[in-house]
Structures are given as structure tokens and as C-alpha cells.
Amino acid sequence: MPNLINLQVIRFLGFAQFHYFSNILLDLGGWVLPVKQTIADVVYELLAGMKSLHFALRNGLINYSALARHLKPYVQEKLENKDVSDDAIVMASRRFVEQAFDFRESKQVEEALAHSSLLVRERMVNVYYTRSSQLYQKLADFAASKVRWEMGEKMYIIQRTEEISVIANRKFLSDLLRLAPEKNIIAFIERLTLLTVVHDEDTLYLPGVFLFLIQKVEGINIVALFSTYRMFSMLFSEEDAPKAYERLNRELIQLRNAYKFQPAATRFGYED
């Protein structure tokens, strides 16, 4: 029988570790010792799910008394109408902020991304092939001869030992499907949108930057990820892309305003 683990003990490892280990335990069948929730437990749960507040919490922009008044009905409901003081919720909220965010690293990541900008490329497709050297050469030749990069057309080739993935404008789909025998086409996905963050070169060496961006689109399916020296791209369905764009763009605008930096795409002259 698996060891029973008290979630209250895990929580004191820090919020990130608590979230990580509790998810693992649930995946393994939920062998977690049932414990009575405390005020801190409920506040942690509520604030962890309120992603839109995390920027303000990290940057000290929250009125904790007002936050406590807002959270109080939900905390009381979770604790079955137990009498809960505003001060207790304030203390739990401050504790959450201390444990949830590494302020030194968060500030470095935020300042780095304050230089960044967001580009959008619509009407994209993704084609997956079984890899062969001959196919790779055909794709490279096609990209060199048919894709008018100067006109804004795009085609990205990602090669692995066993597979090749091509992300390109929708207009090239029929040509891409003809370049390989049907048996070598694993799958293809249409109606995609590519969101690309253009960042400074120093950002590449800063831990947590890509994780920061991915966390902003938590709950939205990312079809593919790839990066180059100054660009990090995420591929979404056309249905999911507007929501992902709104979240990423709002975050970058907040950071830009906070640090008063010029967008990277403007300075480098990039357009994806």
C-alpha cells in the first residue's frame, strides 16, 4: 500500500513543490491522507487559480484588506461557514505570495520580457512526416524555391531522428502533401495560428523565461513549440489563439509599461 502523505506537510515545502507533488499523488491514485482544510489551505487554492492576479501579487499592487473581503465568502463556504477573520485571510494571502513566487528570479524574467513583443501569424498548417534524407532535401528545396519570405510567406522545418514537422502557410498544404508518399505522412493539422514572442538575446540564457510564457497560457492547448535565437513560437488552433494572444499580449504590455522598455520586434525590425 502506498505511503499516505499529509498535504499540509507538502505545502510547507513551498507552493511550487506542493502543487507538483500533489498532482503526482493524484495521478498515482490519490493516496493522500484526508486532512481538514485550514484557512491557509483554502486561500492557497483560491489564489493559485486566480492567474489574472499573479502579476499584481508579485509586484505588490494588491490591497490585501480588499482581497480578504473578496475571498472571505469563498473561504467560509469551503470551511462550512466557519467564522473567519479578515486578518487571517490577509496573513494567508501574504504567505502565499512569499511561497509562490521567487521574487529575485521573477523580477529578472519580467524585466527581460519587458523588452519583448508579440507577433501573430494566422492561417497556418502543421504537417508531420516520417523522416528521410530525401524528403528533408525536397522540403528544403521547396522552401528555397517556392516560399517568398520577402512577401511574408513562412515555412519552418523541424527535423528529428524519426520525424519531420513542417509549419507553413495554409496555401502550401497541397504541395507539402505531394512531396511525400501517403505512407510517410503521419498527420496534418489545419486552421492554426502561430504566436511568436520576440525577445533580447540575453533572455535565452535566463532560467524560467519560456516557463513564464507557457504558464500564461495554462489551460490552452499548445499544438507545437519551437524557438530560434531571438524568437519563441507557440502554435495554437484558430479557436484557442485569440484567448492565448489576449493573455500573452496583456502580460507583455503590463511589463512594458512597468519597465518602460521598447518592444524587441521594433528595435530588431523583425516580423516573424
Domains observed in the chain: 5-101 (no CATH), 113-268 (3.30.2130.10)
Lowest pLDDT segment from 13-27, 210-224, 251-265: 13-27
Mean pLDDT of all residues in the chain?
A: 84
> Which is more confident, 254 or 177?
177
> CA 205, 166, 240 angle in degrees (round to 5)?
75
Sign of CA dihedral 121, 124, 127, 133: negative
Report whether 69 contacts 86 (CB < 8 A): yes
What does the pLDDT look like over 199-208, one tens digit per residue? 988 888 888 8
What confidence category does residue 104 fall into, taking pLDDT thresholds of 50, 70 and 90?
A: low
* Residue at 181: amino acid letter: P
- The Cα 79–Cα 92 span in angstroms is 15
What does the pLDDT look like over 79-94, one tens digit per residue? 887 788 999 999 999 8
Burial class (CB in 10 A: 0-12, 13-18, 19+), 33: exposed
Sign of CA dihedral 22, 25, 26, 32: negative
Beta strands in 77-223 (DSSP E): 117-130, 155-159, 163-169, 185-198
What does the pLDDT look like over 133-178, one tens digit per residue? 999 999 999 999 999 999 999 999 999 999 999 999 999 999 999 9
What confidence category does residue 18 fall into, taking pLDDT thresholds of 50, 70 and 90?
A: very low
82: which DSSP letter? -
pLDDT of residue 111: 87
74: which DSSP letter? H
- Beta carbons within 10 angstroms of residue 234's beta carbon: 23
Report whether 236 contacts 242 (CB < 8 A): no
